[in-house]
Amino acid sequence: MADFSLAGKVALVTGASSGIGRRQALALAQAGVAVVLLGRREAQLQAAVAEIEAVEARAAAIFADLGDRDQLPKLAERAMAPFGAIDILINAAGVNFRQPTEEITLESWDTTLNLNLAVPFFLARELVPAMEVKGWGRIINIASLQSSRAFANGLAYGASKGGISQLTRAMAEAWSRHGITCNAIAPGFFPTELTAPVFKDSDQLDKLAAQTAIGRNGELSDLDGLTVFLASPASDYITGQVIHLDGGFTAK
């Protein structure tokens, strides 16, 4: 019988103040995980914590800007304060400035590559020693259709998401022998603040839905099953994989 049990585990979810990270935090909490939610916006994070506590699960918030890489060791310590060492890290914080190629600046490039690619590695590296002590851990990155496809106005974002696919494999190579698996979820189009410009355009949305095999774009609840599976012992032998959660968008 597959072991989906997560009771007693502790997770840190970045980007948990909205969208995909927030949903994943809720899914883990409902599966029995004590969840630490990280983001910059206090009101949004507090609302997410309240939503989790309302289903009688455990949650705590950390208000922090991940853009400052020097602070990552301290952040990792803060993340362990509420419930103990982190077993599961979800790197869901991310930005997409959707700039035409000629408008990309050094600053917007650095912000994108730092938050979407560097932070998932440097934050994970702070948390891995405690996972190694337990001989078990989970790192879940968030990739994208743009990990393997080029979209208009997506040059910097696509570079970061192509990078996260390879980072996922490299992290798996580095840490899986210690029981720490690393995989990425590559979502199709899901309605969040990041994709608000896309979801405002009903023609484009219809085209994107038609591009999937299933015939619709993502709903946040579509994230729950894969998130819990990749976090649980049932996925012990899966590592270094980028799993498309896209209704078959990339299959067509």
CB of 149 to ligand NAP, least distance (A): 11
- Enumerate residues 6+ apart whose C-beta is below 8 A from 134: 85, 87, 179
Nearer of residues 6 and 16 to ligand NAP, judged by Cβ: 16
Name the segment binding ligand NAP (CB under 6 A); options: 34-42, 54-62, 176-184, 231-239. Answer: 34-42
Nearer of residues 56 and 200 to ligand NAP, judged by Cβ: 200
For tokens 């996972």, the residue is 131
CA-closest candidate to residue 86, choices 45, 20, 141, 34: 34
Name the segment binding ligand NAP (CB under 6 A); options: 26-34, 61-69, 127-135, 224-232. Answer: 61-69
Which of 9, 17, 48, 156 is close enough to bind ligand NAP by CB under 6 A? 17
User: Residue 39 interacts with ligand NAP (CB under 6 A)?
Assistant: yes
CB of 133 to ligand NAP, least distance (A): 27
Within 190-219, the residues that bind ligand NAP by CB under 6 A are 190, 192-195
CB of 14 to ligand NAP, least distance (A): 6
CB of 45 to ligand NAP, least distance (A): 7
Nearer of residues 206 and 236 to ligand NAP, judged by Cβ: 206
Name the segment binding ligand NAP (CB under 6 A); options: 65-73, 148-156, 172-180, 225-233. Answer: 65-73
User: Residue 90 interacts with ligand NAP (CB under 6 A)?
Assistant: no
Task: Pick the catalytic residue from 83, 121, 157, 249.
Answer: 157
Which of 8, 41, 101, 150 is close enough to bind ligand NAP by CB under 6 A? 41
For 201, phi then psi, to 5°, come to: -105, 95
User: Residue 249 interacts with ligand NAP (CB under 6 A)?
Assistant: no
Write out the chain in H/E/C secondary structure.
CCCCCCCCCEEEEECCCCHHHHHHHHHHHHCCCEEEEEECCHHHHHHHHHHHHHCCCCEEEEECCCCCHHHHHHHHHHHHCCCCCCCEEEECCCCCCCCCHHHCCHHHHHHHHHHHHHHHHHHHHHHHHHHHHHCCEEEEEECCHHHCCCCCCCHHHHHHHHHHHHHHHHHHHHHHHHCEEEEEEEECCCCCCCCHHHHCCHHHHHHHHHHCCCCCCCCHHHHHHHHHHHHCHHHCCCCCCEEEECCCHHHC
157 is catalytic: yes
Residues found near ligand NAP in the complex (CB under 6 A): 14-15, 17-21, 39-41, 44, 65-67, 92-96, 115-116, 142, 144, 187, 189-190, 192-195
Active site residues: 157
